[in-house]
Amino acid sequence: MGLPQAVHGASLPDNCMVRNDWICPDYVETRSDLIVDALREHVVITVASVTIGFVLSVFLALVVRRWRRLAAPVFGTSTVLYTIPSLAMFGLLFTITGLTTTTVIVGLVLYSLTILVRGVLTGLDGVPADVREAAVGMGYNGLRLLFRVELPLALPTIVAALRVTAVSTVALTTLGMLVGHGGLGQLIKQGLDSNFRAEVLTASVLCVLLALLADLVLVAVLRLSTPWRRAVS
Contact 214, 47 (CB under 8 A): no
What is the per-residue pLDDT for 3?
44
Whether residue 10 has pLDDT greater than 80: no
Sign, Cα dihedral of 137, 139, 143, 149: negative
**Tens digits of residue pLDDT in 140-180:** 888 888 888 998 999 999 999 999 999 999 999 998 898 88
What is the per-residue pLDDT for 230?
63
Whether residue 199 has pLDDT greater than 80: yes
What is the per-residue pLDDT for 11?
55
The CA distances from residue 73 to 60, 70, 112, 152, in Å, are: 11, 6, 16, 27
**Tens digits of residue pLDDT in 202-214:** 999 999 999 999 9
- pTM of the predicted model as reported, rounded to 2 decimal places: 0.88
Q: Which fold has domain 22-225?
A: MetI-like fold (1.10.3720)
**Tens digits of residue pLDDT in 111-148:** 999 999 999 999 999 998 888 888 888 888 888 888 88
5-18 burial by CB neighbour count: b if 16+ within 10 A, else e? eeeeeeeeeeeebe
